[in-house]
Structure 1
Amino acid sequence: MDPGNASVSPGYRVLVVEDDDNIATALHYVVSREGMACDRVSNGGFALAHIRATRPDLVLLDVMLPEVSGYDICVAIRTDPAISGTRVLMMTARGSAQEQRRALEQGADGFIAKPFDLGKLRGEVWRLLSPPTG
């Protein structure tokens, strides 16, 4: 499959968990252009229920959210056997090495700092959704 060909619909479902409307719009644009279905939740308190109900292939997860932090959501995903295989790309405006390390320690599959380059974001999405080679 050519990830650069948006006409190829891989059938992936992505959930954006982001409270900033402008960032959520940009994320939705990138995901949709890749031919993937995209939902959004803007409040951390609703994220886990939505993940359990819709079983997305990938969650684009902001760290700082109303009610429940992205870190807590990531840990909950990893400890719930029904959804523990869900891929998680954490995002934060505090893109320090310490934040990246914490995200990965909490179980994230990847990390991207905001503001993000759309090309880099697209690459990370495909990296996380591509089956392992070898």
Structure 2
Amino acid sequence: MAKILVVDDDPAIRQLLADVLEMDGHEVHQAVDGNDGLRLLDLTRPDFVVLDVMMPGIDGYDVLRAIRAQEGDPLPVLMLTAAADPASATRGWVDGVDYFLAKPFAPDAVLDLVESACGQTIPTITGSD
């Protein structure tokens, strides 16, 4: 299974994601903010990153830019945001995000994206209503 880095300043969101991903057999590392995320990124070398947009200090966009500045194969990144406005999504796409989900989200949607990106299953997510 995949090694996943979850970067979110909300402990409830981190724990929910860790529980869902670990129950599916993934190894999960949790970062409490952008600085911690960048530190764990180097230490854990994840296969996939779940990244909150709005965090104190270094926000998700800055973390994403740091991820995209790394050499080697692009690391799949899913950004989660409570600010589901078009400008936030556009900024994420411009900065190189692979997936973008608005909070609240279905945990199974995150699991499907992780598994699809890591080559384990075909996603079951359909377009919006």
TM-score, length of structure 1 as denominator length: 0.83
Quote the Cα distance in structure 1 between the aligned partners of 2:45 and 2:106.
27
Q: Does 1:57 pair with 2:43?
A: no
Moved over 4 A (4+): none
Deviations for 1:24-54, whole angstroms, at most 9, x for unmatched residues? 1111011111100001010211211210121
Across the two proteins, how many residue pairs are aligned to each other?
122
Q: Distance in 1 between matches of 2:24 and 2:93?
A: 25
CA distance in 2, matches of 1:63, 1:119: 20
1:73 aligns with one of 50, 63, 69: 63
2:33 is matched with 43
Counterparts of 1:1-134 in structure 2, within 5 Å, are 10=1, 12-81=2-71, 85-130=74-119
- Report the counterpart of residue 6 of structure 1 in structure 2: none
Identity among equivalent positions (%) equals 34
Instruction: Return the TM-score normalized by structure 2.
Output: 0.86
User: Which secondary structure does the structure 2 equivalent of 1:116 belong to?
Assistant: coil
How much is the aligned-residue C-alpha RMSD, in angstroms? 1.9
Offset, 1:97: 2.6
Q: SS state of the match for residue 9, structure 2? A: coil
Structure 2 residue runs of 5 or longer lacking an equivalent are 123-129
Unaligned runs of 5+ in 1: 1-9
